[in-house]
């Protein structure tokens, strides 16, 4: 594992391959959580779904932390029931909340009614759960899609600017990007960016190139959502990448 200079001024940690990177990232997350527990009596971890995190989840869940003092939630969710194969919650429960990590406290982003014609009441209930989480979050682990989205902040979503500009007390936003078949729920950018540690986990040459190009855009309102989120944060930011 190497620490390179940076991408766009953000520290870059590289691994020889995805498994090597997953092991290092799991260890770094565990170190932050352990220090948070020692300092404040508990820790909060925000994770993402997708195909990249599972190898890291498998390693993290076996590490000997005081998991009963760790609260875990998601950066975003597809608006489907938790048993659905497309649910990020299902992924986390099958890949992370096992072994040592089975003792962690889980906070769901799912609520009946989010995809209804009048979702405000359901959205308020989710927002209240997120607002009750200790803040700032200790670690937020983000991913990035091939279109530059992160969490469910998609570049083609009409609701993107609202979710990007909302104050942290808003907590969550519903997005309906035309490129996606399902309604999405995402923590707003300000809540993600307030984390003590905001880390991006990606693999592949194409994603690294896309990220570098977007981070080179000077305006904070331009560029892809992932670059805008990383630029918006003023705490510890890092990129974990492997070919």
d(CA 65, CA 33): 8
**Model confidence, pTM:** 0.97
pLDDT for residue 5: 73
Distances 9 to 4, 12, 28, 145 between C-alpha atoms, Å: 11, 9, 20, 21
pLDDT for residue 4: 61
Radius of gyration of the chain (CA): 17
- pLDDT tops 80 at residue 220: no
Q: Give the chain's domains with CATH numbers.
A: 26-143+192-216+231-242 (3.40.50.1360)
- Rounded average pLDDT over 110-122: 97
pLDDT for residue 179: 98
Share above pLDDT 90 across residues of the chain, in percent, rounded to a whole number: 94
State the residue for tokens 């909340």.
Answer: 97
Q: How much is the mean pLDDT over the chain?
A: 96
Confidence of residue 126 (pLDDT cuts 50, 70, 90): very high
- pLDDT tops 90 at residue 217: no
d(CA 147, CA 112): 29
Q: Exposed, middle or buried by CB within 10 Å (0-12, 13-18, 19+), for 115?
A: middle
Coil vs helix vs strand at 61: coil
Q: pLDDT, tens digit, for every residue of 54-85?
A: 999 999 999 999 999 999 999 999 999 999 99
Structure tokens at 5: 């200079």
- Residue 62 backbone dihedrals phi, psi, to 5 degrees: -95, -5
Whether the CB-CB separation of 22 and 96 falls below 8 Å is answered with: no
Q: Exposed, middle or buried by CB within 10 Å (0-12, 13-18, 19+), for 85?
A: exposed
pLDDT for residue 2: 57
Distances 163 to 62, 148, 168, 189, 212 between C-alpha atoms, Å: 35, 16, 10, 6, 23
pLDDT for residue 3: 56
- Residue 42 backbone dihedrals phi, psi, to 5 degrees: -170, 170
pLDDT for residue 213: 93
pLDDT for residue 223: 86
Strands 43-47 and 70-74: parallel
d(CA 22, CA 39): 26
pLDDT for residue 59: 98
- pLDDT tops 90 at residue 181: yes
- Rounded average pLDDT over 129-158: 97
Confidence of residue 25 (pLDDT cuts 50, 70, 90): very high
Q: How many residues does the chain have?
A: 243
d(CA 193, CA 235): 8
Longest dimension (CA), the chain: 49
- Rounded average pLDDT over 138-157: 98
Name which of 20, 103, 108, 111 is nearest 68 in CA terms.
Answer: 103
């Amino acid at each position: 594992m190497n620490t390179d200079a940076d991408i766009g001024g953000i520290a870059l940690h590289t691994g020889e391959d995805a498994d090597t990177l997953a092991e290092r990232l799991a260890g770094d997350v565990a170190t932050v959580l352990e220090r948070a527990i020692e300092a404040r009596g508990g820790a909060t971890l925000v994770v993402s779904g997708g195909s990249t995190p599972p190898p890291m989840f498998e390693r993290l869940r076996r590490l000997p932390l005081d998991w009963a003092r760790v609260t875990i939630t998601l950066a975003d969710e597809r608006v489907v029931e938790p048993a659905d194969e497309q649910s990020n919650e299902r992924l986390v429960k099958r890949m992370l909340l096992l072994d040592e990590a089975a003792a962690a406290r889980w906070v769901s982003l799912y609520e009946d009614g989010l995809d209804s014609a009048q979702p405000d009441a359901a959205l308020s209930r989710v927002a209240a759960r997120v607002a009750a989480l200790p803040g700032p979050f200790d670690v937020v682990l983000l991913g990035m899609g091939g279109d530059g989205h992160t969490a469910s902040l998609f570049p083609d979503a009409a609701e993107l600017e609202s979710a990007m500009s909302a104050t942290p007390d808003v907590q969550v936003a519903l997005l309906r990007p035309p490129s996606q078949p399902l309604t999405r729920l995402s923590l707003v950018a300000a809540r993600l960016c307030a984390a003590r540690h905001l880390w991006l986990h990606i693999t592949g040459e194409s994603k690294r190139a896309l990220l570098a190009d977007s981070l080179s855009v000077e305006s904070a309102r331009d560029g892809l959502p992932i670059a805008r989120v990383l630029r918006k944060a003023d705490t510890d930011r890092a990129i974990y990448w492997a070919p």
